[in-house]
Amino acid sequence: MQFSSRLIEDAVNAFAGLPGIGPKTALRLVLHLVQRPTEDSSQFARAVSTMRQNIQHCITCGNLSDQSVCSICRDTRRDKTVICVVESIRDVMAIEETQQYRGVYHVLGGVISPIEGIGPADLNIDTLVQRAAEAEVEEVIMAISPTIEGDTTIFYINKQLTEADVQVSSIARGVSFGGELEYADEVTLGRSIVARRKL
């Protein structure tokens, strides 16, 4: 693209460096900001840099926080005897959205994936084993995506937790609630039959 100013080019490149944003979308965003008051752009820039400078991973669970311990781990009303293990911060948000869970979390930061070169040492597994060994912890719930990598991760963590005196469970998997049987994929339907529960 031919830019009339180096400053516009820099701003377009900054946006185009974000995932899923191509040069045309980046230009559209920059032209939008140019049409808005200067204060809007300053506020936008401030929100981004302030966030990045002050945000950190909770030293207990790995969730994002603006303090060394996150708001969920600090909350005295949360049940510290149950730890829900998830891949990412997005999963914490999704589970919090359901308002069905009152325990605490542990964010792995991914799943074991030999293809992508992610081994157990790259994930927050050691800290989970340490937490699970604490006297108050009674249950570890694995809320990991039902993929090959996810299952490998669950298998590995389950083995690491054998010495800790905790019950390890997995979130229920099967046909979606409210979903029609005929639209469920084969694997899900097949496993749902194998993993049937007594009524």
Task: Provide the binding-site residues for its own copies, judged by CB under 8 A.
Answer: 1-8, 10-11, 13-14, 17-21, 25, 27-34, 38, 40-55, 63-66, 70-72, 88-90, 92-93, 96-97
Decide whether 28 or 173 has the Cβ nearer to its own copies: 28
Decide whether 1 or 171 has the Cβ nearer to its own copies: 1
**Least distance to its own copies, CB of residue 71, Å:** 6
Decide whether 63 or 153 has the Cβ nearer to its own copies: 63
Decide whether 70 or 132 has the Cβ nearer to its own copies: 70
SS3 sequence, the chain? Answer: CCCCCHHHHHHHHHHHCCCCCCHHHHHHHHHHHHHCCHHHHHHHHHHHHHHHHHCEECCCCCCEECCCCCHHHHCCCCEEEEEEEECCHHHHHHHHHHCCCCEEEEECCCCCEHHHCECHHHCCHHHHHHHHCCCCCCEEEECCCCCHHHHHHHHHHHHHCCCCCCEEEECCCCCCCCCCHHHCCHHHHHHHHHCCCCC
Decide whether 99 or 162 has the Cβ nearer to its own copies: 99
